[in-house]
Amino acid sequence: MKISNIPGGVTAARGFKAASCAAGIKYAGRTDMAMLFSDAPCAVAGTFTTNVVKAAPVLWDRKIVKEIGTAQAVVVNAGIANAATGETGMAMCAQTADCTARALGIPADSVLLGSTGVIGPNLPIDRICAGVTRMAASLSDTLEAGDDASRAIMTTDTVNKQCAVAFELPAANGEGAVEVRLGGMSKGSGMIHPNMCTMLGYVTTDCAIDRALLQRALSEVVPDTFNMISVDGDTSTNDTLLVLANGLAGNAPIAVAGEAYECFKAALTAVCRDLAVKMAGDGEGATHLIEMTVTGADTKENARKLAHSVIGSSLVKAMVFGKDANCGRVLCALGYAGVAFDPAVIELYLLGEKQTLCFYRDGCVQAFDEDAALQILSEKKVAFTCDMKMGDQAATAWGCDLTYDYVKINGDYRT
């Protein structure tokens, strides 16, 4: 099956509209609210933060995903997280959903919510509701509307993140092949250590798919995409990833885990990986994307742990920022991942666009050409790979370097 990148994001799939506005929540001179709307009710799947402290919109969305399983609109604000806000926070979720429902003529429990920003303060609910009314009147299915929405949900992000793909579901049941589209947007730059990460992510698709299968596909895709990135090891209170499927592609609904399901899952993986890697590369203050691939692990879970340990290491992150090929730090981070392996047999490499350097082999750090290392470490993406020589399982994790700007951004985030 061929998965093709197509322009756009959340409005790339049929029947999805978006809007955004400057509601004046926190930032001056920029938009800070976004709305998504589907012409038809959508099957919805979601994954949420594992943090014990869950923001009000996370509790709101989780209830809808678990108990209802369908939705038709999403409203997101940036600037204030609506977390650690107690009953007041939950009441504000209900108010936001109510005014959205009235404006769009849909039930309040088909409105999903997302917030990102400072933990603690209450939402300025009057401005939120005024924003909802304005956005409901300006919904558009253009790619520009989707692009604008992806900008409106940014906090410390330096670039907006969106992605869309198209693929053909194979002919089945006497029907011909059907083109299905998926698009998505996400935000996230700091407090990123998924499980979920401090991220909001929204994927829309016109695929017709059973709700339980949609949730299963998402749950299978997240461990190797969004959950394999880290900016700073901090798992946020607000992480939310939602997938909305409105069925408007007209395919025979995917109701069993067969070939069509695998096609859909491959396309969902492509969108989620693209959005996740974009978040890692736009980590707060980042100048490099770090990619760590582990091969030859005994289990998939161990491969993930080892890769995650390296991209989470402050010392590895700082060395990439400094373009310093202090490769012992990568080895050290593998060593404290909580996975048993034999240091005498593993092989560690630094991968550049045009050349590969062996850093460690036969139990010893290897001599390497410092100039070549400096050249590789000067590329925007810095990739390492390590063969554990234990089996055939592999995993890749993505992170970013630790820079002065990360400290600057987070030393004074509220002001």
Residues in contact with a copy of itself by CB under 8 A are 50-54, 81, 83-88, 118-121, 190-191, 193, 195, 232-237, 312-315, 318-319, 321-324, 326-329, 331-337, 339-341, 343-344, 360, 362-365, 402-404, 406-415
- Alpha carbon distances (Å) from 156 to 116, 175, 283: 10, 47, 9
First to last CA, the chain: 49
Least gap, CB of 119 to a copy of itself (angstroms): 2
Least gap, CB of 166 to a copy of itself (angstroms): 37
Element (H, E) at 266: helix 259-281
Least gap, CB of 79 to a copy of itself (angstroms): 14
240 part of the active site: no
Q: Which is nearer to a copy of itself, 84 or 252 (CB)?
A: 84
Q: Which is nearer to a copy of itself, 52 or 256 (CB)?
A: 52
Which residues make Cβ contacts (< 8 Å) with residue 292, sequence separation at least 6? 307, 310, 311, 330, 383, 384, 385, 386, 396, 397, 398, 399
Element (H, E) at 410: helix 404-411
Q: Which two tokens stand for residue 353?
A: 């666009």
Least gap, CB of 329 to a copy of itself (angstroms): 7
Q: Which is nearer to a copy of itself, 53 or 68 (CB)?
A: 53
> Which entry of 31, 47, 155, 198 is annotated as an active-site residue?
198
| Spatial contact of 75 and 111, defined as CB atoms under 8 Å apart | yes
3-state secondary structure 272-300: HHHHHHHHHHCCCCCCCEEEEEEEEECCH
Least gap, CB of 404 to a copy of itself (angstroms): 5
Q: Which two tokens stand for residue 91?
A: 């009441």
Q: Which is nearer to a copy of itself, 265 or 329 (CB)?
A: 329
3-state secondary structure of 191: coil
Q: Which is nearer to a copy of itself, 159 or 344 (CB)?
A: 344
Q: Which residues are catalytic?
A: 198
